[in-house]
């Protein structure tokens, strides 16, 4: 709430003393915000608006609306880009495309993520969950193509990223750990072809033995987002 800043320690006591007292305190605090915060942006926000939206987000929206009204500006609505034409690259993607032209398949922009689980892992459920994320985010289904000498985005309508499982349970205990770390390092250095995809990789290493109880099972799950998967623009 916005009113945390001007409130004092005694305000909590007054709040408990009765609803009417708390309303007076809240009114004073809202008035404080209107007289101290809004002038910073050189706009006037109706006091009634602060009662209607007593949050930071509400105040920000009110200030922005007031600024646009004074300047005669109106922000255009954000609309989805038509998919019936070539999609230009965002600024972040242009940077990645240029870097890939100079240093093809370089893992510099890879973002690895590793999780060590001490519990049984439902591989099918995990794979389904991760592919649902891929389905919902176009950037994970995006590759680059060149049209008339210019790079463009190509968004696959569907894409399934497999989750391979490496069984290390037959190795000695000390060898399982070392091999899992080696596989993790190799996954981190994975090369991604931005013209083919996918832009992320998955892998799971099973370190458990068949005689190990569930509480002692270990699985190392790793995922690596390539340059496109880690880019901020899509």
Please give the pLDDT value at position 134: 92
The domain spans of the chain are 2-71, 87-225
Please give the pLDDT value at position 216: 40
Tell me whether residue 47 is exposed, middle or buried, using C-beta atoms within 10 angstroms of its C-beta: 0 to 12, 13 to 18, 19 or more. Answer: middle
Q: How far apart are CA 138 and CA 223, in angstroms?
A: 18
Token pair of 114, please?
A: 């590793």
Please give the pLDDT value at position 7: 39
* Angle (deg, nearest 10), helices 19-36 and 9-17: 140
Please give the pLDDT value at position 34: 59
The pLDDT averaged over each successive group of 10 residues in the chain (234 residues) is 43 46 54 60 67 74 71 67 85 89 86 82 89 92 92 93 88 85 86 86 75 48 68 46
Q: What is the pTM of this model?
A: 0.60
SS (H, E, C) the chain: CHHHCCCCHHHHHHHHHCHHHHHHHHHHHHHHHHHHCHHHHCCCCCHHHHHHCCCHHHHHHHHHHHHHHHHCCCCCCCCCCCCCCCEECCHHHHHHHHHHHHCCCCHHHCEEEEEEECCCCCHHHHHHHHHHHHHHCHHHHEEEEEECCEEEEEECCCCCCCCCEEECCCCCHHHHHHHHHHHHHHHHCCCCCCCCCCCEEEEEEECCCCCCCHHHCCEEEEEEECCCCCCCCC
Domain at 87-225, CATH from 3.30.160.250, 3.30.559.10, 3.40.50.10860, 3.90.1150.10: 3.30.559.10
Is residue 4 within 8 A of residue 32, CB to CB? The reply is no
Please give the pLDDT value at position 234: 39
Of 128, 154, 122, 150, whose CA–CA distance to 139 is shortest?
154
Q: How far apart are CA 199 and CA 191, in angstroms?
A: 10
Q: How far apart are CA 94 and CA 143, in angstroms?
A: 12
């Amino acid at each position: 709430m916005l009113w945390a800043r001007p409130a004092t320690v005694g305000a909590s006591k007054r709040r408990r003393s009765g609803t009417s007292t708390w309303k007076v305190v809240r009114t004073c605090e809202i008035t404080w915000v209107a007289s101290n915060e809004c002038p910073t942006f050189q706009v006037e926000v109706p006091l009634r608006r602060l009662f209607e939206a007593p949050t930071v987000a509400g105040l920000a929206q009110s200030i922005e609306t007031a600024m646009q009204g004074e300047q005669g500006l109106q922000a255009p609505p954000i609309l989805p880009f038509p998919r019936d034409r070539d999609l230009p690259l965002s600024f972040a993607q242009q940077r990645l495309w240029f870097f890939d032209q100079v240093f093809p398949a370089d893992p510099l922009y890879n973002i690895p993520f590793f999780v060590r689980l001490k519990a049984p892992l439902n591989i099918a459920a995990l794979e389904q969950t991760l592919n649902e994320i891929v389905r919902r985010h176009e950037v994970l289904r995006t590759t680059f193509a060149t049209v008339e000498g210019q790079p463009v985005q190509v968004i696959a309508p569907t894409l399934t990223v497999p989750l391979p499982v490496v069984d290390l349970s037959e190795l000695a205990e000390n060898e399982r750990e070392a091999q899992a770390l080696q596989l993790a390092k190799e996954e981190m250095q994975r090369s991604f072809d931005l013209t083919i995809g996918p832009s992320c990789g998955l892998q799971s290493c099973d370190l458990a033995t068949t005689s190990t109880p569930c509480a002692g099972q270990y699985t190392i799950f790793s995922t690596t987002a390539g340059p496109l998967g880690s880019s901020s623009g899509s």
